[in-house]
Amino acid sequence: MKWQKMKKAIGNIGSTLSMIILAVILFNVVTAKMTGENPSIFGYQMKAVLSGSMEPDIKTGSIIFIKVASEGDQFEKGDVITFITKENFLVTHRIAEVKDRGSHFITKGDNNNGPDLEPVHIKNIVGRYTGLTIPYVGYAFKITETRLGAALILLLPGILLIGYGLITLWRTMRIRENYRESEAQTPHE
């Protein structure tokens, strides 16, 4: 009996924490969409990773948190950085070699056979990976960058709230029905 209560309490706490985390991420994404800025939490930007170049450390479909680079930051071999390529893509790879006294970097994905073709200039570094990753959320994060995804992210919380309300109402009505049936079956004196 006690184990059942404890299991239920742990499940409730886990569900609540998951909902809070998702709500914070959702709020940040919506706010970022409205302001045109990158989503961030406490000065750390969230980036979706949609390739397997950094596996197994960073799984495809994850969200990673990066500390935004500022002038004067030093980067060294082994740091995982997010940078902008000449084609305007965001890439997260590990620094394999430091060139020109820290102004250029040779990078490589952990899961790639060789280094990236173009050296990364320090001005193209967006930030340094913090080590914090949330698996699988990156797919949903990336969808929000489309018009349909942005519309869904605005409508989805309302739909979920209405659905939750309907389920709660249905459960309450079932409890009342069961209570009435048990009262009808109990002999009264």
What are the residue numbers of the active site?
51
Report residue 115: phi and psi, to 5°: -70, 165
- Burial of 146 per CB tally in 10 Å (0-12, 13-18, 19+): exposed
- Burial of 120 per CB tally in 10 Å (0-12, 13-18, 19+): buried
Please tell me the distance from the alpha carbon of residue 57 to that of residue 47, in angstroms, as a whole number: 15
Q: Which residue from 168, 179, 150 is spatially nearest to 29, judged by alpha carbons?
A: 150
Q: Which residue from 42, 141, 43 is spatially nearest to 90, judged by alpha carbons?
A: 141
